[in-house]
Structure 1
Amino acid sequence: MNKQELVDAVAAATGNTKVAVAGAVDALIGAVTSAVAKGDTVQLVGFGTFATGARAARIGRNPATGAEMQIAAATTVKFTAGKAFKNAVNAA
């Protein structure tokens, strides 16, 4: 399911217009993105938790030349599914 299909499904389920639902979806994505970018955790009970994680610096290999190279440390985004979400997926 892509973003437009999500908008269509929510609009059909709620009876709201697709324009209004698209605005709400964009606002939700923006709010989650900005909160996680600041280092906050976003917890949606029953759905899951968005948080940041840390990936340590490491040594990798260039696949073309085989030469070792340093890969810098990075901040990553983690999503942990909530219990209700896991149960719904496993029941299907």
Structure 2
Amino acid sequence: MKKSELIELLATKAEVSKAAATRMLETLTQTVVTSVKKGENFTIAGFGTFKQAQRAARKGRNPATGEAIKIGAVKTARFTPAAAFKAAVDPRAAARKAAKKAEAAPAKKVAAKAPAKKTVKGKK
């Protein structure tokens, strides 16, 4: 979907003009960028979280010459989708995760209820 298509969809769904929908979208994107730039997380429940990440400096190679080069540390933006978003994209993955979690839960309870061994000092 292109930005113009999103604006048209927003205008239709919200029953506002395209100009108002454009302002809403611009405000949202500017707010996300400003928040992440400050180092704050920007979360939309059920959709995901935008956050700033740090990529450490590292060594690399120039692919043309093979020469070793230094690549500096950089700040970058990351998006982590919410569980509801992931489930909407791939419902089978959500079902597999739920099944795996259900299998692991009883095993943890059994391990927690195991009695501790008693030892007597001085006797073998």
What band does the TM-score fall into relative to the shorter chain?
over 0.9
Greater share of helix: 2
Give per-residue Cα distances to partners, 1:27-74, cap 9 Å, x unaligned: 000011001000000011001000111111011111111111000011
- Root mean square deviation of aligned Cα: 0.9
Counterpart in 1 of 2:4? 4
Q: Which has the larger radius of gyration?
A: 2
Distance 1:85 1:72 in 2: 34
Distance 2:2 2:68 in 1: 38
Distance 1:9 1:84 in 2: 22
Note if 1:38 corresponds to 2:43.
no
Distance 2:11 2:89 in 1: 23
Task: Structure 1: give runs of 5+ residues left out of the alignment.
Answer: none
Distance 2:48 2:20 in 1: 24
Note if 1:15 corresponds to 2:15.
yes
Distance 1:90 1:9 in 2: 24
Task: Structure 2: give runs of 5+ residues left out of the alignment.
Answer: 92-124
Aligned residues: 91
TM-score (norm 2): 0.70
Following TM superposition, by how much is the alpha carbon of 1:6 offset from its aligned partner in structure 2, in angstroms? 0.8
Instruction: List 4+ stretches of structure 1 deviating above 2 A.
Output: none
Following TM superposition, by how much is the alpha carbon of 1:86 offset from its aligned partner in structure 2, in angstroms? 1.1
Greater share of strand: 1
Q: Comparing both chains, which one has the higher relative contact order based on Cα–Cα distances under 8 Å and sequence gaps of 6 or more?
A: 1
Counterpart in 1 of 2:65? 65
Following TM superposition, by how much is the alpha carbon of 1:5 offset from its aligned partner in structure 2, in angstroms? 1.1
